[in-house]
Amino acid sequence: MTDQHSNNEETIEQRRMLKEAAEAFSEGSLTVNRVRELRNTQPGYSKAVWQEMAELGWMGIPFSEELGGLNLSMSELAIVIEELGQHAAPEPMIDAIAAAAGCINYCDHEGLKKTLIGQIIEGQLIPALAWQERHTALDVSAIQTSASNADETTTLSGQKYHVSMAKGADGFVVSANSPDGLALYWVDASAGGISLDEHLMADDSFSYTLTFNETPATRLSTSADATAALQQALDEANVMTAAYLTGVCKKTLQITLDYLNTRVQFGKKIGSFQALQHRAVDLYVQQELAQAALTDTLAVLEHNPTPTERSIAASRAKSRCAEAAKLITQQAIQLHGGIGYTDECDVGLFVNRTLVVAPQYGNALAHRRRFATLSPSKTGSDDALAGRAVPEISEDQDLNALNDDDFRLVVRDFFEKHYPDELRNPPSRLRWTEIKDWYMTLSRKGWVAPAWPREYGGMGLGPAKMLIYIEEQERYGIARAPDMGITMVGPLLIQHGNEEQRAKYLPKILAGEHIWCQGYSEPNAGSDLASLRTEAIDNGDHFIVNGQKTWTTLAQDANHIFLLVRTNKDGKKQEGISFLLVDFDQPGITVRPIRNIAGHEEFCEVFLDNVRVPKENLVGELNKGWTIAKALLSFERIFLGSPKQSQYALQRLQVFAAANQLFDDPGFLDKFTTLRLDVADLEAAYSKFADIVKRGETLGPDVSLLKIWGTETFSRLTELAIEAAGSAGGIKGGHPAGAEKVDILSNFYNARPATIYGGSIEIQRNTEYTFY
C-alpha cells in the first residue's frame, strides 16, 4: 500500500528478519492441531492469536506512520501471509487487513479512517468486506445494494455474498450505489437491520450472506466514486491470497516429500519409484512458478503501477497460485495413498483450506479471463528501450564497461543492421554454407566468441553481458551457426588445454576454418552418457579409436569432432573417460546423416573404425574427461529452458489467431491465455536463474525445472497452433496471416526434440527430484 523499493541492503535485511520472526511465531503458535480445534467454531479463528500478531506489529505493516502503521509495502505483508499459508491458519489477515482495511485506507474520510485504522492496527477492531453480489463476478460495479439519505442519516438495503467469518467481525465495509456513484460505507456490526445467513465451508469455517434492511451506515468515501479504492483493495487482496496459497504449496509439497521418503512398500521407500518422483517434480515446478509469479507481481506493486497494470499483475499471480495450490494439494492425496484421504493426515487440512481460499475474490478461470480482457495480445513491441539512442563505441572498447541497457542497445543495433532478414527464425537448423557469411561477419567484428577472454580473440564478456548477448540473438531470431568450436572447444581449451593446443586450434575456430561437432551420445548412451562404449586404446604415441557416435548435430558440415571415449574399463562408469580432439580428414571416419520427421538432415551418426588420434590431442588428464564434459555444460544449462522459443511460438500463434478471428472464440481465447500466462511465469522463473548467472555464481541442479517447463510450454503452444489451423494444420510451409505467413508445422517439429536434447525431460525430472 506504500511505495517501497526492494533493491537495497537495508530492505533485504528487514525482510529477512521479518521472515525469521514470522517463522518463529508460526512454529510456536500456529500448530496444525490448533487448526483442527478451531473447525466448526465461532468465530473460526483465535482472537488471542490475532492479538499476538497485532502486538508484533503485523496489522500495521501496510499503513502509513501517520495512521500508526509501519509504512511498509505489500511485499512485507506477503511474507507474513505466506507463513500463515504454510500453517493453514484461519486468521483473516487477507480479509481484514488487505481487503477491508485496504478499502478504508484508500477512502478519503480522514477522521473516520484514522480512528478505524488505529483500532485495526492495535488488534481492537476486526473489519470484514462485503462487496460481492454474484458468485463469480469480478466487476465491482455489478451490485444492487443501495444507499439512501433521509434526515442526514444514510441507510443501506441489499444483499452481499461470501462475507468470511462475519460473526467475528466488529464491522463491515460495504459497497453500495449512492446517488453520485458507487460508494463505500462503514457499518457497525451491532447496527440494526442486519441479518446473517450462515454457510459451512469445506474447511469447516463459516461464510455468510449478509442482508441489509435500512441499516444505518457511515460513508467512507466523500468523493463521487469509490470504485478505484475498492478495486485497489481487491487487487491487493488477490495478491495476498496468492501469497497465502504459495505457502500452502510449499508446506503441502514438503509434507508429501517427507512421506515419500519414509513410507516403505515392496521393501523400498516409495520415493524411489520413478513414477512418483516425476509426479513430485511436476508439483515442485508448479510451486516454483507460483513463487515466481508472486515475486514478479509484488515487484509491480512496489513501482507505482497504473490501475490497469496492477489489476493485470494481480490476476496473473492469483491465477497461477490458485492453480498450483489446487494441483499440489489434490495430487498430495494421491501420492499419500489411502492415508491421504483420512482426517488424521495433515494434507486434508490444506486441501480444504485451498478449496475455500482459492476462489475468494475470483477463481483462477475468472482471473485468466480478466487478464485476457485487460491485457489483450499485441503483435507490436512494448520494449522499454524502443526509441532510445544507441551509444557510440570505439572498435577496441571493453563492452563490459557499458551499463546493461546500453550494451543491449549496441548489440541489438548491430544485429538488426547486419543479420540477413531472410535468415531470421529459420524453420530448421541452417547448414554451414547458409550461415557462413554471418559467421564471418561476426568474426571480422571480433564478436564471434563473446565469452572468450579478449587475449584469445574473444569479446571477454562477463556473465551478465553474455546473457544479454544471447537473449538478443534469440530476440531477433538469429540462427545458430555450427558453433561447437565457439561454445565448447574454445572454452574447453582455454580452461583445460595446453598452450600448444590453444595456439593450434583457437585462431582457426575464430577464422571459421575449423568447424567442430560434438561426439558425446551413442546408441546406448544418450541421457545416460556415462555408459558410453567408444574406446580409445593406447598405441604408443597415439590412440586407436573404435566406436559410434549418434545425434551428432551437423557432422556432415564439420571437419573436426571432439569425443568422449573410454580409456579405462575399471571402476565406476564415470571414471575412465577421456576427452579427445579428432581431425575428420583421415581414414576410418564415416558420417551418415539422419533424416528427421520434418524431412531435414540435422543429425548424423559418426562411425569410427581404427581412427588414429595423436596423444597430443588429449585434453586434460587421461581418464578425467567426465569432469571436463560436465564443466562444459554448466553455463549452457540455463539456455535449455530459455523462454525465447516459447515467446516466438506464442507471437506467431497470436499473429495467426488475430488474422483468422480466433480470439472471438471463447474456448480458444481461454487456451491461449493459459499459455500466455505459462510463458510469463517461465520468464519469471528464468529471471531467477539468470540473476544467479549474472552474479557469476554456479547454477545448481534445480535449473532443470526451466528445461522441463520451458520445452513443455513450447510443445503445448505448437500443438494449439496445429489445432487452431484446423484441416490446414498439416500443410507444410507458411500459412497466410494477414500481411504475413506463419509456418505452423516447423515450430511443431522443432518442439519435438526440444524435450529430448540436453538430457530428456524425464532425466531432468530425476535430477530435480534428487536435488529437492
Which phi and psi angles does 55 have, rounded to 5°? -65, -25
CA atoms of 708 and 646, how far apart (whole Å): 13
CA atoms of 293 and 287, how far apart (whole Å): 10
CA atoms of 409 and 421, how far apart (whole Å): 19
Q: How far is CA 745 from CA 225, 285, 386, in A?
A: 52, 28, 32
| CA Rg value for the chain | 30
- Quote the cell numbers at residue 424: 531470421
- Cis check: omega of the bond before 307, within 30 degrees of 0: no
Is 609:565 a contact under the CB 8 Å cutoff?
no
- Selected catalytic residue, list 13, 66, 513, 636: 636
Q: Where are the alpha helices (DSSP H) in 512-602?
A: none
Question: Within 10 A of 590 (CB to CB), how many other CB atoms are there?
Answer: 11
Q: How far is CA 77 from CA 6, 205, 228, 338, in A?
A: 14, 23, 21, 37
CA atoms within 13 A on the CB side of 364: 20
CA atoms of 350 and 143, how far apart (whole Å): 32
SS3 (DSSP) at 208: strand
CA atoms of 752 and 746, how far apart (whole Å): 10
CA atoms of 293 and 177, how far apart (whole Å): 35
Which is nearest to 704 in space by CA: 277, 82, 319, 158?
A: 277
Question: Within 10 A of 257 (CB to CB), how many other CB atoms are there?
Answer: 18
Q: Look at the alpha carbons of 576, 582, 586, 591 in this order and tell me if their dihedral is positive or negative.
A: positive
Cβ partners under 8 Å of residue 683, min gap 6: 643, 647
CA atoms of 636 and 513, how far apart (whole Å): 24
Which phi and psi angles does 700 have, rounded to 5°? -90, 175
Give the number of residues written for the chain.
Answer: 772
The residues pairing with 236 across neighbouring beta strands, listed in sequence order, are none
Which is nearest to 640 in space by CA: 712, 695, 579, 688?
A: 712
**Residue 636: active-site member:** yes
Which phi and psi angles does 702 have, rounded to 5°? -65, -10
Which is nearest to 618 in space by CA: 573, 668, 661, 565?
A: 565
Cβ partners under 8 Å of residue 447, min gap 6: 414, 459
CA atoms of 206 and 610, how far apart (whole Å): 79
Cβ partners under 8 Å of residue 756, min gap 6: none
Is 77:98 a contact under the CB 8 Å cutoff?
yes
Is 333:347 a contact under the CB 8 Å cutoff?
yes
DSSP for 249-295 reads HHHHHHHHHHHHTT-EETTEEGGGSHHHHHHHHHHHHHHHHHHHHHH
Active site residues: 636
